[in-house]
Structure 1
Amino acid sequence: MPIFDRRSFLRLGTAGLGAALLTNGAAARAPFLGTQVPAFHRFMIGSTEATVVSDGPLPLGKPAASFNGFAAGEITQLLQGNFLPTDDIVLEQNILVLNTGDKLIVFDTGVGTSTMFGPSPGKLPTTLVKAGIQPRDVDAIVLSHAHPDHCGGLVDADGRAVFPNAQVYISSADFNFWTDEAKLGSQLKPFIQIARRNLLHLRDRVVFYADGQEFLPGVQALAAPGHTVGHTMFMITSGSETFCYAADLAHHYVLLLENPRGEFVYDTDAKQAASTRARLLDMLAYDRIRLMGYHFPWPGVGHVVRHGEGFHYIAQPVKTVL
């Protein structure tokens, strides 16, 4: 094997280096595989086993179509500065599953059978099984809010419950807002239709939680309104650790953290959402609470710290062995 110093590397260039290396071994003939590993990730919260499963990515297209309230050129500058594409925003859908030993709890359910966001999402039933979790074993579904990418996976194409033995927990404010038949005549119609189809089919299983309530063992609701009227985060306590499922507090880990006063086009009340985001991110940073963002880069687990006038997200290193 030849030894190269920096000067010889620069003289050869990448093409010359590649040719030199290939002369010392067989050329690769294996086909490209074009697949990823199963999209699940496990970690511990105290004595509780947590699993993140993916419902697949959500492509949103041009950043300016989804994010408002930024100075001219600020979005491009932030994206470029973080080595991200400037012409297409893609959000992940990270779904949290808790196994407390007594209960199996799923937080949010992805888009289900809806084609609103194209063919990429809708993978939750598949990734759950790959993670060793059977939908029939789930005891509780906790919805942070009733947008299509959070409640859309409750029922299948035939209207049957995907999680046949689970109760469904949601805020009464969001349930009432997104199942309101009167809104079918508004621009919210597609969202209302999906919420009604998923939530009304399971109305007899719906349980309302209240702000501050510990409605499941170790799971406390924390109101985070603005994105929707009843959008809620959840503080999860196990042993000596508190963990935050932040849901849609911030849709983008750069744009809406570096500039928490920025706005997302799908917010019901964008000004309230920005105020809520700044307040709760400050709490999470001050208390050094580990969190998970539903739309953050896979698997969405890490911390936030103060950074200038905003915040910075630090992803938790992924452990390959629990």
Structure 2
Amino acid sequence: MKLTRRTMMQGALAGAALGGAGFAPRWSHASVALGDMTVETLSDGHLVLPADFIFGPMPKDELGPVLAANGMTPDAALTPECNLTLLRSGDSVILFDAGSGSSFQQSAGKIADALDAAGLAPEDITHVVFTHGHPDHLWGVMDDFDEPFFYEAQHFIGKTEWDYWIDPKTVDTIDPGRTTMAVGAQRRLAEMEDAMTFFEDGEEILPGVAARMTPGHTPGHMSFEIRSGSESLMVIGDAIGNHHVAFARPGWHSGSDQDQELGAATRMALMDQIANEQMRIIGFHLPGGGIGRAEKTADGYRFVQES
């Protein structure tokens, strides 16, 4: 391993973490074989969010029973997992999203430890593919010295998503509560421009990996269908952002989506497809590592976790 400021910092942080009392990370959550590929999820930690961040626009009289069925209450803080998808295919080691880095929330930004537990270092990642530009998916692309964290990797982002976050007007037009997101995305993407490859909806960006536009959460949010022969799964990012209301009532507007109406329409179409085809999905914020399926119920869907 090349000794740099980055690797020295990672070693120091890992040593401090492992010395903590009761430290028992579950870095690698779940894995599946897909033909001659292996797909697994690595933990970047979790977020801590106010309930209204998601539930704000939802009908309060109907929300309570849906949450109660999932052992939740409408006012409790949310602590969704952050699952990064790792695809090993031949000589390629492909990471979907880069995690939060150290500048977003203390409970997240743990990908260096997760990679170490998987026997990998940042330089082993050959490709980084972004679903979208929110902090928990993008900010980990740079280290604490503003250098590329995955410095040997080729980086991919949808052109629509790139154009939105790199546009200087976005900072002034985005919801005021998300201004910091826009500033942070613009800075990091500008720094990474020379390493970026852009793509459009429907393109096979890497062998067996096809892009699918799933907008609403952000303007250019992408999901990715990974296929080997007759087997497939879909990395859905935040197109389906949780295992409770997003499944039970996919048509409800979610406060986490930048375009709530479009996000709901995308979610309903995606849910219909994956339930009818019984396609495996990996959700960035779904529980237990995020791998599972959607099962139709009498009045919605439910998440069926695979371990």
Task: Tell whether the 8 Å contact from 1:94 to 1:298 is kept in structure 2 after alignment.
Answer: no
Q: Distance in 2 between matches of 1:182 and 1:213?
A: 28
Whether 2:239 is the aligned partner of 1:249: answer yes
Structure ID, larger Rg: 1
Task: Tell whether the 8 Å contact from 2:128 to 2:156 is kept in structure 1 after alignment.
Answer: yes
Whether 2:147 is the aligned partner of 1:160: answer yes
Gaps of 5+ in 2: 1-20
Q: Distance in 2 between matches of 1:288 and 1:109?
A: 28
Correspondence for 2:59: 71
Q: Distance in 1 between matches of 2:72 and 2:39?
A: 29
- The offset of 1:164, in angstroms, is 0.7
Deviations 1:10-66 (A, max 9, x none): xxxxxxxxxxxxxxxxxxxxxxx63324311333122211221111111112x2342
Correspondence for 2:107: 120
Q: For 1:266-285, list aligned pairs within 5 A.
A: 266-285=256-275
What TM-score results when the alignment is normalised by the length of structure 1?
0.84
- The offset of 1:69, in angstroms, is 4.1
Correspondence for 1:12: none
1:207 to 194, 197, 222: 197
1:84 to 72, 89, 106: 72
- The offset of 1:236, in angstroms, is 0.1
Q: Distance in 1 between matches of 2:241 and 2:166?
A: 23
- The offset of 1:233, in angstroms, is 0.6
Say which SS state the counterpart of residue 263 (structure 1) adopts: coil
Whether 2:36 is the aligned partner of 1:47: answer yes
Whether 2:292 is the aligned partner of 1:305: answer no
1:226 to 205, 216, 223: 216
Correspondence for 2:7: none
Say which SS state the counterpart of residue 73 (structure 1) adopts: helix
- The offset of 1:70, in angstroms, is 2.7
Task: Tell whether the 8 Å contact from 1:91 to 1:251 is kept in structure 2 after alignment.
Answer: no
Task: Tell whether the 8 Å contact from 2:42 to 2:85 is kept in structure 1 after alignment.
Answer: yes
Q: For 1:96-115, list aligned pairs within 5 A.
A: 96-115=85-104
- The offset of 1:223, in angstroms, is 0.7
Say which SS state the counterpart of residue 208 (structure 1) adopts: strand
Task: Tell whether the 8 Å contact from 2:27 to 2:113 is kept in structure 1 after alignment.
Answer: no
Q: Distance in 2 between matches of 1:34 and 1:81?
A: 32
Q: Distance in 1 between matches of 2:244 and 2:34?
A: 25
Amino acid corresponding to residue 178 of structure 1 in structure 2: W
Q: How much identity, in percent, do the aligned residues show? A: 31
Task: Tell whether the 8 Å contact from 1:136 to 1:163 is kept in structure 2 after alignment.
Answer: yes
What TM-score results when the alignment is normalised by the length of structure 2?
0.87
Q: What's the Cα RMSD here?
A: 1.7
Amino acid corresponding to residue 101 of structure 2 in structure 1: G
Deviations 1:247-268 (A, max 9, x none): 1111111111100012222322
Q: Distance in 2 between matches of 1:149 and 1:178?
A: 15
Correspondence for 1:57: 46
Amino acid corresponding to residue 89 of structure 1 in structure 2: L
Gaps of 5+ in 1: 1-32
CA gap 1:77/1:64 in 2 versus in 1, 3 angstroms: farther
Whether 2:141 is the aligned partner of 1:151: answer no
Task: Tell whether the 8 Å contact from 1:67 to 1:262 is kept in structure 2 after alignment.
Answer: no
